[in-house]
Structure 1
Amino acid sequence: MRQGVRDACVTASAVGVGLLTLEGARQTYPDPARAHLIRDLLIGLVACLVLLLFRRRRPVRVALVLTATGLFASSSWGATAMAVFTVAVHCSWRATAAVTALNVSYIVLTFTQVDELTRRERLESVLVFLLGYAVLVIGGLLVRSRRQLIESLRERARQAEEEQRLRVEEARHLERERIAREMHDVLAHRISLLAVHAGALEFHADAPADQREAAGIIRRGAYEAMEDLREVIGMLRTDPGDGAPEPGARDAPVPDGEDERPQPALSDLPALIEESQRAGAHVTFDDRVPDPAGVPSRIGRHAYRIVQEALTNARKHAPGAHVSVTVESTGPGGTLAIEVANRLPPGPPPAPALPGAGAGLVGLRERVDMLGGALEHGHTQDGHFRLYAKLPWPS
């Protein structure tokens, strides 16, 4: 649609300038033959059609051809001028300068050959045409610069969107690694307990032989499961090329406590809130869970991480704002709901004082989706930012 409007405007301008030029020629030569007038109009019409059809595909060639038609028809000068404008819009400054210089030279030469004009009239006519061409060329260059600027802004926006997409994908990948490591720590602890109890039963003197044999099978299976788990998760703990041993190298040393780090639970939330308060944050905690210790460790661990990330985001984007944390549950077979809300600071959002990738909510989404829950976040009508997560609590 826009292209059609532009073509119509350019063609109309070419027709208007051509008719004005033809009228000026008629005043210079008062009694032209009728056949000459008709020929002039036909050549001008053909020039306008050529301009309309081919000006974008071959702008320089069209301008050269239309410059030649000016030798035979005054009405084609309008099409020639608009062809120079098109060259300024679509071609380099060198091509624009060459085509403009050719047309200006032709105009000056043409008016110097008109004996019917006085010297003053020649000079005025040349100046008018030169000023007109200057306006056309400068306007075309401005249009070209504006288009290049818009294109560069679009390219920057596309690159920014692509970078944001990559950051989100990286955040998801890192959060999945983090969750896998947490699961490894939990599973390692539980499997090690299983192996210890199975070992105690295997070497119990009063246990029947068949029970000791079964306990030995369980102990060996637990040990092999621990080794397999260590081998798989080892690929997540080290990056390729950093000099780390291969995942299959079982003699690689493991730091003390690496596989048995205590994982947070829902009962650790008061300590997290107290830590934020000691750091200067204004946080209130409304605990509506009757028995936090009875919440499954898997659910409680992710609930703790959600609150932790929400408090971090509040410190970054709304420093000094009051934050309210509410946790409530409907018991086994129901849900565990977490709500964190803070008032938005007035005016434009401040630059975060803490560094970050801006993808913390993406990681929370990964956690909630893994549990089959729901996550909502955004601005409320009363000027708050609210994060609400609902996690299923298996019966």
Structure 2
Amino acid sequence: MATGLVQNEVVTGLRPTAEASPRSQLSQWGSAWRYAVMIVVALVVYVIFLGAVLERHDVNPDLIDDQPLWIQVLPLSEVILGLATIGALPFRRRWPLLIAVMSAALMSFSATAIAGAALAATSNATRRRPRSLLVVGIVWLCAGLILSAWSMRPGAVAWVIPVIMMTTYALSVTIGLYVGARRDLIASLRTRAHEAEREAALRVAAARATERTLIAREMHDVLAHRISLIAVHAGALDYRTDLSTERSTEAASLIRENARRALVELRHVLDVLGDRDERSPQPTLAQLEALLEETRQAGMRVTATVAARIEELPDEVSRCAYRVVQESVTNVRKHAPGAQVRLLIEGQPGGILMVEVGNAVPRDRIEAPPHSGHGLAGLSQRVEILDGQFSSGPEDGGFVTRAWLPWRETETA
């Protein structure tokens, strides 16, 4: 549950700065330069086309009022249809095919509309849909044929305008396909970047959860032992009203001393987990006698048999074995006070170190302090990390904890 909360906290904290979509809105500058280029092209086409039509039909600009009606309205119609094409362009991103077809159709009556139609065709090509490209291409071809039919003088080359228009359309489609592919590539890279950020956040969350678990396990191992000793001595003061002043003072001194040691050991744990470069040594089986002596001072009866050269154990194995003994006797003190405790440690290099802690049926019962239920689970994880085996459970009316740890002969303490 803690890990999930941390992961959700980290992942939901990610806020992509831009939507990973190739259809995102253009910037103001991006739109401005496109329209500027289109207007310049439209003006150039307007001048060239209008001059070519007047020349093809031998029209004198000074006598244009004497020409047919369509010649008279041609300059104005070119401007109006060109502006209509430009006015429809802002909607090309919402309805790309419709705007591209409409702009191409207007070219049937206005060559000036070719500038806006080219931009609409480019925008439609960025979608890279073959069917829409084919439809727009057919409309362009038809528009070129119609424009050539009414604007060219009889007998002139009829294929010039359609070829120019289809070449322009091919260039627009090529640019559109390139732009569309580039946008999709950028969108893909953005998606991968966001996924990489999420994966990195999940790895950080998992590392934090692991570190918190390690801190909780170390604090449990250290504080549970000391606090259980304090609880035992405080319980004795509470239930034993016949204690002498000297015994009461001794019990109070033991409570104070264990409280002080709990604080010192807690500080050592935080030093180890917080600064790996300045860590204090963690207890090993070298401190086994001190642990058993504290347990006996708490009123417990402990019988220990050590049939192994524990001073030759590797550090990590010795630390794990110490934690197994510490947690086991702490559990006996909390849940089976007054019970006889037996400890057996045996093994040899190149083989298996076996640690067994068991207790008989308790002779009396008092209210036990609350427990987390994670002590034995933490021991099991410690042992499994070292490729060992762990078991615990009731046996002969009592409770027995066993751990088998590999003792590699090549390693020395």
TM-score with structure 1 setting the length: 0.50
Q: Is the 8 A contact 2:104 2:117 kept in 1?
A: yes
How many angstroms apart in 2 are the aligned matches of 1:202 and 1:115? 117
Alpha-carbon distance between aligned partners in 1 of 2:245 and 2:41, rounded to the nearest angstrom: 111
Does the C-alpha gap of structure 1 residues 237 and 47 become closer, same or farther in structure 2, counting only changes over 3 Å?
farther
Q: 1:5 matched to which residue of 2?
A: 29
Is 1:65 aligned with 2:65? Answer: no
Instruction: Report the structure number with the largest CA radius of gyration.
Output: 2
The reply on whether 1:229 has 2:371 as its aligned counterpart is: yes
Secondary structure, counterpart of 2:94 in structure 1: coil
Cα offset, 1:28, TM superposition: 3.4
| Contact in 2 for aligned 1:89/1:144 (Cα 8 Å) | yes
Distance in 1, Cα, partners of 2:110 & 2:75 = 9
**Structure 2: runs of 5 or more not aligned:** 1-24, 65-70, 256-297, 300-329, 336-366, 382-391, 405-410
Deviations 1:194-241 (A, max 9, x none): 57777999999x9549968x97xx9799626976335155676789xx
Compared CA separation, residues 131 and 227, structure 1 to 2 (3 A): farther
Question: Take 1:8 and 1:251, find their aligned partners in 2: how far apart are those partners?
Answer: 82
Deviation track 1:314-353 (CA, whole Å, cap 9, x = no partner) reads xxxxxxxxxxxxxxxxxxxxxxxxxxxxxxxxxxxxxxxx
Q: Is the 8 A contact 1:191 1:226 kept in 2?
A: no
Aligned residues of 2:105 and 2:140 also touching (Cα < 8 A): no
Q: Residue 95 of structure 1 is aligned with which of 132, 135, 142?
A: 132
Cα RMSD for the two superposed structures: 4.6
> Do structure 1's residue 24 and structure 2's residue 49 form an aligned pair?
yes
**Alignment-derived partner of residue 80 in structure 2:** 42
CA distance, structure 2, for counterparts of residue 18 and residue 198 of structure 1: 97
1:1-395 to structure 2, matched below 5 A, reads: 3-22=27-46, 23-30=48-55, 31=59, 33-51=71-89, 53-90=90-127, 92-108=129-145, 110-111=147-148, 116=153, 121-191=157-227, 193-194=229-230, 207-208=243-244, 223=334, 228-233=370-375, 255-256=401-402
Distance between the aligned counterparts of 1:202 and 1:50, measured in 2? 91
Identity %: 29
Contact 1:28 1:117 in 2 (8 A): no
- In the alignment, the residues of structure 1 paired with residue 79 and residue 119 of structure 2 have an alpha-carbon distance, to the nearest angstrom, of 17
> Given that residues 88 and 137 in structure 1 are in contact (C-alpha distance below 8 angstroms), is that contact kept between their aligned partners in structure 2?
yes
Show structure 1 runs of 5+ residues with no match.
Answer: 240-248, 259-274, 279-395
Q: CA deviation at 1:139?
A: 0.7
Partner of 1:368: none
Aligned partners of 2:376, 2:150: CA distance in 1, in Å?
A: 90
Q: Distance in 1 between matches of 2:378 and 2:149?
A: 83
Pair 255,129 (structure 1): closer, same or farther in 2 beyond 3 Å: farther
Q: CA deviation at 1:70?
A: 1.9
Contact kept in structure 1, 2:79 and 2:112, CA below 8 Å: yes
Q: Is the 8 A contact 1:69 1:76 kept in 2?
A: yes
